[in-house]
Amino acid sequence: MYMSTSKTAIITGGGGGLGRATALKLAESGVNISIIDVSEEQGNETVRLIEEKGAKGIFIKADVTNAEEVKQYVDKTVSTFGSVDMFFNNAGISGPGKKFLDNSIEQIDLVLDINLRGALYGLYYVLPEMIKNGGGSIVNTSSTAGLVGQDSVVSYSATKHGIVGVTKSLAAEYANQGIQINAVAPGSTETPMVKQYREMNPDVFKAVSATIPQRRLGQPEEVAELVSFLLMSEAKYINGAVVPIDGGFTAI
């Protein structure tokens, strides 16, 4: 067990994209970080980058759709660092980017399992640790597709609308126990997941991109700034909020 007075964060999907960017931002403040991912190579690389910044990090390989593995990543974090103070509940996939009826049942199930079931499992095991310690801060990853309808992402949109409901309902349930829980709703952001989606669906992506008032994609570091603020800020009265970060996409 590390002897540290620093706060501890768990980040799911921490091997890249928004998870890695947020880990590196938190590392600048000396936060202990557990990186959760299915990719050992990417997860360990994030830990290496965390340690380059002088913070402590561990990688825990886990499938967020497996409740026992979720429990284990929470238990290992507590046994290593002593507590869970922050949780970036971020792991997710976009799905195949096809019209709903062109998806297989297996593709639908996979998106639902990772994006929604995996997020719920994480909350189920993290919340008791935070309550035990007198509180904590959680940020869930939703999406602009959780705020408005978007073509060719029906299953994804269902999960991200679900994350909005989960965030607001849990804030109502646990705010009086010191839990601060919010969600971010990124628009199209330059992550590996978005790059893959763009390559698979160039026409759909071009149509969406043209509707962003700032006429550019977001950067992972910009989202990380917002997530870090919500996790670490003294603005504890922000609770149950869903904050778009989308270049104005949902403003029009």
Edge-first strand order for the sheet with 32-37 is: 57-61, 32-37, 8-12, 86-89, 136-141, 179-186, 242-245
Q: Is-contact 229 221, C-beta < 8 A?
A: no
Catalytic residue among 73, 121, 125, 156: 156
Our CA angle for 5, 183, 62, nearest 5°, is 65
- The Cα 230–Cα 233 span in angstroms is 6
Active site residue 156: yes
Q: How far is CA 22 from CA 13, 83, 143, 229, in A?
A: 11, 19, 16, 10
Tokens of 97: 């980017």
Catalytic residues: 156
